[in-house]
Amino acid sequence: MNSLSGVRRSVKYEHGLASVAPLHGGVVTVVQPPQRPRPLLSSPHYLVTDGAFEERGSELPYLAAPPPTPERMIAILARVHDAILAQDPDAELDLDPTLATCVQQPLRGRVSSLEVMRHFHLQLLALFALCFPIACNGGQGEVDSETSTGSSSSTGPEVGDRCTPSLSPDPCGDLLCCSDDPAAQEGKLPAFNGTPISDVYGVPIFAEANNSLSRRGQCVAPESDRPLSNDCPSPCNPRWDAADVSTICGTGRLCCQSQALTEDDCIIDPDTGRWRAVTGADIFLGLSSWGDRHPTAQDPNATGCSFFAGTTDVSDPTYSDCLIQLNVADQRGWCADTCPCVEDTCELRNVDAVPQCS
């Protein structure tokens, strides 16, 4: 159960332990018998300890986890929302309008999550309790070994393995599952670490506080140099110019693409007649239907955008802008001192293309 791994990791950090290996979570499962009008459907319910038991030879002391922060509760609700919609792409989460507002606004950076918790904590906890079994059983993400840049082993996920932040709290074990997508509102630079929103900086849509809205990420170690508020490293866009890269990554650093494009991430530009990587803007040009058509596409079913904007109405400026900012792998990466060469798969489909990595 993914929630247990999250508790174990919290206990590890809270008590300064070296590993989660000796920690064991506790869970009580109650199965509600089938009832009419669905006589064949039983309902499991779970009660999870807010700490873990540490294996110390013959002893098994209980170590409490730190209490959840308001930001953590908002992130959990975002995961629950995505897990529910993952069961039925056409479904809508039926929230009370007031509750919907209090959940959605913090994700857009307009209301502090502390204020939300102060005024609506009972409703938030009630919704979490109601949806908890779905989140645990229906929306489990996993490490994606096929598109991983690391090498998984029997010991668990490793640095560089692909993961899905929106579908699982802790698929990376002792590592973090961090979004590698720096997309921000209106195509601005992401306002990381409390940077004020301005003409230059916009709210990050899929990173930092909104990490749980991202369908694309990697297993990484907690960042020690200029970490984000969620301990993740700063994602960046390899297609930014040098000045923007320096602004987010630091002077002299580079932005390294974290995943290679596939040929199905490419479209022919109607203006140039050349192959290029698809973008969210192409949805509005009728050049892409998004979805699962593009293997590395961010938010393929737009569930993250719908939660971020609080609507699926394309006439809503927040929702439509979120769709425009969607991307594929060529616009996602990490700050680093040196970068491995990654070919532009889409450019290579043009007859006059020259490989850059040979």
Q: What pLDDT sits at residue 311?
A: 87
Please give the mean pLDDT across all residues of the chain: 78
Whether residue 64 is predicted with pLDDT greater than 80 in this model: the reply is yes
How far apart (Å, rounded) are the C-alpha atoms in residues 181 and 198? 20
Answer whether 99's CB lies under 8 Å from 66's CB.
no
Smallest Cα–Cα separation from 283: which of 291, 295, 273, 275?
291
List all residues 6 or more positions away from 26 whose beta carbon is below 8 Å from its beta carbon.
Answer: 48, 49, 52, 53
**Where residue 126 falls among pLDDT bands split at 50, 70, 90?**
very low
Q: By mean pLDDT, which of 76-90, 169-183, 328-342 is the weakest?
A: 76-90
Q: What pLDDT sits at residue 76?
A: 66
Answer whether 301's CB lies under 8 Å from 307's CB.
no
The SS3 assignment for 267 reads strand
How far apart (Å, rounded) are the C-alpha atoms in residues 294 and 81? 23
Q: What pLDDT sits at residue 29?
A: 72
Mean pLDDT of 3-25: 76
Q: What pLDDT sits at residue 155?
A: 62
Q: What pLDDT sits at residue 113?
A: 43
How far apart (Å, rounded) are the C-alpha atoms in residues 121 and 352? 59
Whether residue 13 is predicted with pLDDT greater than 80 in this model: the reply is no
Mean pLDDT of 4-32: 75
How far apart (Å, rounded) are the C-alpha atoms in residues 67 and 64? 9
Q: What pLDDT sits at residue 108?
A: 53
**Where residue 106 falls among pLDDT bands split at 50, 70, 90?**
low
Whether residue 169 is predicted with pLDDT greater than 70 in this model: the reply is no
Mean pLDDT of 145-152: 44
Torsion (CA) 141, 261, 175, 252 in degrees, nearest 10: -150
Q: By mean pLDDT, which of 45-49, 226-230, 325-329 is the weakest?
A: 45-49
Q: Is the peptide bond before 157 cis (omega within 30 degrees of 0)?
A: no
Mean pLDDT of 99-121: 47
Residues in the chain: 358
Answer whether 49's CB lies under 8 Å from 69's CB.
no
Q: What pLDDT sits at residue 115?
A: 42
CA atoms within 13 A on the CB side of 181: 36
Answer whether 214's CB lies under 8 Å from 166's CB.
yes
Q: What pLDDT sits at residue 159?
A: 87
Mean pLDDT of 200-215: 93
Whether residue 137 is predicted with pLDDT greater than 60 in this model: the reply is no
Q: What pLDDT sits at residue 174?
A: 83
Order of strands across the sheet that contains 176-179 = 162-163, 217-220, 176-179
Q: What pLDDT sits at residue 105?
A: 53
Structure tokens at 167: 């579908």
What does pTM read for this prediction?
Answer: 0.63
Q: What pLDDT sits at residue 241?
A: 95
How far apart (Å, rounded) are the C-alpha atoms in residues 192 and 116? 21
Instruction: Tell me the per-residue pLDDT of 224-257, one tens digit each, with 9 for 90 and over.
Output: 777 888 889 999 999 999 999 999 999 999 999 9
How far apart (Å, rounded) are the C-alpha atoms in residues 149 and 162? 7
How far apart (Å, rounded) are the C-alpha atoms in residues 264 and 295? 7
Give the helix/strand (H/E) hosting 254. strand 254-257
Residue 186 CB-density burial (10 A; 0-12 exposed, 13-18 middle, 19+ buried)? exposed
% of the chain at pLDDT higher than 70: 69
Name residue 189's beta-bridge partners. Answer: 201
Whether residue 80 is predicted with pLDDT greater than 60 in this model: the reply is yes
% of the chain at pLDDT higher than 90: 43
Please identify which residue in the block is written with the tokens 């018998």.
33
